[in-house]
Structure 1
């Protein structure tokens, strides 16, 4: 007998429906993307700049101060090997930094879309709540206009009492003279 899926856990987490699903290892593309981001982050630090400057200074000192037979890059040629190494480093650094920026742009695009959807939901919820508040106010106003308060009831009763007293006073003063009708003359 198959168990029904648990509603308190997402699919793939202890549910029979998620038995076959396992967490996949990151693809090589994702691994390379994370590597490019690491390189971009590392190259953008003051530590990297200090180390690169220290490396160049040591290179130049070594190739100018050491004995002639220990030097591997001649100062007379303008430190050609150092120039080539720095050019190689720059030629790899630029595309790696661009790849990292593209990945960040993709994440930002997804985040912006999620923010836009969240803002739309919030706006729809706010409009719904505003309509509900207006409906509640209208029903309360309608209910209040139909509700008779003590003061309104007292005023109505006083007006009716005054009207009855007027009619009683007129009736007590006697019948009002009436004009003779045609039947009386015939």
Structure 2
């Protein structure tokens, strides 16, 4: 049975508890969602195509066919009479879409260039630091070698000693002594 306290308190409706270990349900949006990277790649493809000779040739062929059809065809089959207003509208529409797509592709290229330049700058900094380190090490080795006896220096010192000994021999010829090798006690 319900107690008095339960009767006094109105029935509370508690919202279902949200579990933190489960992802939320996706909300419906009125605006369609799109992948900006996929859209960017598509815009780069279109911009790349718009900058080719193939596009210019096809565009020229289509415009010439359009104009010729609307001049030569029987009146009942013509769909765009002489000032070619529909053709002008189509070219304006194509240009209004092409310009932003080209700008988007250029912005993406600028972003890639910026990243590349930043990586190059960091690599150059590392190379400069390595070069300075190696320069200091080489300078330290040269200073250390200045204090170390080299083979050529030792050879010249030995030659000087040999000459000095020969000069002494000439001044003081060898005199055999009949003394014993035992030291005096």
TM-score bracket for the superposition, by shorter chain length? 0.5 to 0.7
Tell whether 2:134 aligns with 1:129: yes
Instruction: Specify which of 59, 63, 67 is matched with residue 56 of structure 1.
Output: 63
Cα displacement (A) at 1:155: 1.8
CA distance in 2 between counterparts of 1:94 and 1:116 reads 32
- Structure 1-normalised TM-score? 0.67
CA distance in 2 between counterparts of 1:114 and 1:138 reads 36
Task: Tell me which residue corresponds to 2:148.
Answer: 143
Cα displacement (A) at 1:158: 4.3
Structure 1: runs of 5+ lacking an equivalent: 1-26, 170-186
Instruction: Specify which of 76, 83, 88 is matched with residue 69 of structure 1.
Output: 76
CA distance in 2 between counterparts of 1:127 and 1:134 reads 11
CA distance in 1 between counterparts of 2:156 and 2:73 reads 110
- After superposition, the Cα gap between the structure-2 partners of 1:89 and 1:160, relative to the gap in structure 1 and judged at 3 Å, is same
Task: Tell me which residue corresponds to 2:31.
Answer: none
CA distance in 2 between counterparts of 1:130 and 1:148 reads 26
Cα deviation 1:43-90 (Å, max 9, x = unaligned): 000000000010000000110100000001011xx1000000000000
Tell whether 2:109 aligns with 1:104: yes
CA distance in 2 between counterparts of 1:145 and 1:137 reads 12
- After superposition, the Cα gap between the structure-2 partners of 1:160 and 1:43, relative to the gap in structure 1 and judged at 3 Å, is same
Cα deviation 1:106-148 (Å, max 9, x = unaligned): 0000000000000111111111111112222222221026996
Instruction: Specify which of 38, 46, 56 is matched with residue 53 of structure 2.
Output: 46
Cα displacement (A) at 1:153: 2.8
Task: Tell me which residue corresponds to 2:118.
Answer: 113
Cα displacement (A) at 1:150: 3.5
CA distance in 2 between counterparts of 1:160 and 1:54 reads 104
Tell whether 2:96 aligns with 1:91: yes
Task: Tell me which residue corresponds to 2:183.
Answer: none
Indicate the structure with greater helix content.
1
CA distance in 1 between counterparts of 2:57 and 2:122 reads 44
Structure 1, 125-134 or 88-97: larger mean CA deviation: 125-134
- Structure 2-normalised TM-score? 0.68
Task: Tell me which residue corresponds to 1:29.
Answer: 36
